[in-house]
């Protein structure tokens, strides 16, 4: 290949310098744009052979070694040592793993563990360092990074466990599955890539909740997936005061927001933090097994078991909120969910807030397109375009009264009222 500078790369470097200044000034959306430009720059200077190496084994090896490090609690060990870090030997002894698996062997004679244990530990730390998951202080001496420290928190750590053990097999088998059905677009949530990979007739969520440990990982990760990203309750995103607080009915017992399928209540917690003087009750609804995960000490909202495939029991609330719920279901199921809420809404008063990705018609970001592929792999469903959303909510007897998006690649807030 031509070794001369790539004009696209040079142009991207200029863009990075420009956006970098905005980032240094905490400009809105600058972090996301800088990240996108950095990825584009890497792609523009990467050789085809390097791209294949990265896609084919560098990234899969990073995923596998990160999961292994989580299983061995290596990130917790590094975090506890803070800036001092740990040697290969110290990590091996703490984890009871073969030092050769964790890093290259120094000398069997230096190890107090049986010699045959050395056969296993060397590669994990070397590759994690090479992929910037951890840092390296000296030879065979590793330190924590902000990312590795984050992986000691369940909302991030469980994301690796969940995506590795649940989504991973589906992605791995997706090409074979599509070939087996002659590349017909799958639409059956009970007979798709997930069932093919996991050899089960059960839909994704049925399978997941039959495995409480993985279901817990999923629920924990839902808070991690959203952490640090724009929330619709943030100032400058959705006008909460104007759209939800104004004209709120006054009186004891009035419900302000019902979070339908709201998981562990992360959105309601954020809402109460931003608006501590809430004008009405906050109600969280989800499956009983999810509600049971919430600490009894959490008193910021009411916790109620509810199946959103049944009629909504809370009538006439100011707002009903669905966050990342409908993308888990096909259109027919989603319309059913919406209609069950519609029956509880009050004309010219209640609003339905759908907090989901909206796929742009052009230049969609990788964060959106990859989530679309995750939905295909797990549920034979998809992320939706604006046209898709309008068609679906209208079929449920609703109309869209506004759409708000804070930053490129982030979730949007779709406001609906009774048609």
Tell me the C-alpha distance between 131 and 49, whole Å.
18
Q: How far apart are CA 200 and CA 157, in angstroms?
A: 26
Tell me if residue 323 is catalytic.
no
The residues near 225 (Cβ < 8 Å, ≥ 6 apart) are 159
Region of residue 218 (left: phi > 0; alpha: psi -120 to 50; beta: else): alpha
Label residue 394 left, alpha or beta by phi (over 0 means left) and psi (-120 to 50 means alpha): alpha
How many Å apart are CA 125 and CA 142, to the nearest integer? 8
Catalytic choice (327, 411, 415, 417):
327
Residue closest to 196 by CA, chosen among 211, 209, 179: 179
CB 335 within 8 A of CB 191: no
Which position among 76, 77, 90, 383 bears the catalytic label?
A: 383
Q: In the structure encoding, which two tokens stand for residue 218, read together?
A: 């999923």
CA angle 28, 34, 36 (to 5 degrees): 115
Helical ranges in 203-330 per DSSP H = 204-209, 212-226, 240, 266-274, 288-291
Q: Is 356 a catalytic residue?
A: yes
Question: Which residue in 33, 356, 411, 417 is the catalytic one?
Answer: 356
Report how far residue 291's alpha carbon sits from residue 334's, in angstroms, rounded to the nearest whole number: 22
**Alpha helix ranges (H) inside 72-167:** 74-80, 88-95, 99-102, 123-130, 146-150, 154-162
127 is catalytic: no
The residues that are catalytic are: 327, 356, 383
């Amino acid at each position: 290949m031509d070794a001369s500078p790539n004009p696209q790369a040079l142009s991207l470097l200029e863009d990075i310098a420009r956006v970098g200044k905005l980032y240094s000034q905490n400009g809105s959306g600058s972090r996301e744009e800088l990240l996108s430009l950095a990825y584009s720059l890497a792609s523009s200077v990467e050789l085809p052979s390097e791209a294949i190496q990265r896609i084919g084994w560098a990234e899969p090896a990073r995923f596998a070694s990160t999961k292994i490090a989580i299983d061995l609690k290596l990130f917790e060990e590094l975090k506890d040592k803070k800036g001092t870090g740990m040697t290969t030997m110290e990590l091996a002894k703490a984890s009871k793993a073969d030092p050769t698996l964790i890093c290259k062997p120094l000398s069997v004679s230096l190890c107090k563990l049986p010699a045959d244990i050395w056969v296993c530990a060397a590669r994990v730390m070397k590759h994690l360092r090479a992929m910037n998951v951890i840092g390296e202080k000296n030879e065979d001496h590793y330190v924590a990074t902000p990312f590795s420290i984050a992986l000691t928190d369940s909302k991030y750590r469980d994301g690796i466990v969940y995506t590795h053990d649940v989504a991973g097999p589906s992605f791995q088998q997706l090409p074979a599955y599509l070939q087996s059905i002659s590349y017909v677009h799958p639409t059956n949530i009970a007979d798709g890539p997930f069932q093919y990979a996991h050899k089960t007739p059960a839909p994704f969520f049925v399978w997941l909740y039959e495995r409480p440990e993985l279901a817990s990982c999923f629920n924990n990760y839902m808070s991690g997936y959203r952490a640090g990203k724009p929330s619709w309750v943030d100032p400058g995103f959705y006008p909460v005061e104007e759209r939800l607080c104004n004209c709120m009915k006054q009186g004891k017992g009035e419900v302000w927001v019902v979070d339908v399928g709201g998981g562990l209540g992360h959105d309601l917690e954020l809402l109460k933090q931003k608006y501590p003087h809430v004008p009405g009750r906050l109600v969280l609804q989800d499956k009983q097994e999810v509600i049971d995960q919430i600490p009894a000490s959490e008193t910021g909202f009411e916790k109620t078991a509810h199946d959103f495939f049944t009629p909504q029991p809370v009538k006439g609330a100011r707002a009903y909120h669905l966050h990342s719920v409908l993308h888990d279901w096909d259109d027919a199921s989603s319309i059913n969910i919406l209609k069950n809420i519609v029956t509880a809404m009050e004309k010219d008063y209640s609003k339905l807030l759908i907090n989901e990705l909206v796929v742009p018609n052009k230049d969609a970001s990788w964060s959106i397109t990859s989530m679309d592929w995750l939905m295909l792999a797990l549920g034979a469903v998809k992320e939706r375009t604006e046209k898709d959303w309008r068609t679906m909510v209208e079929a449920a007897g609703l109309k869209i009264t506004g759409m708000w998006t804070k930053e490129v690649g982030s979730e949007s807030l779709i406001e609906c009222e009774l048609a």
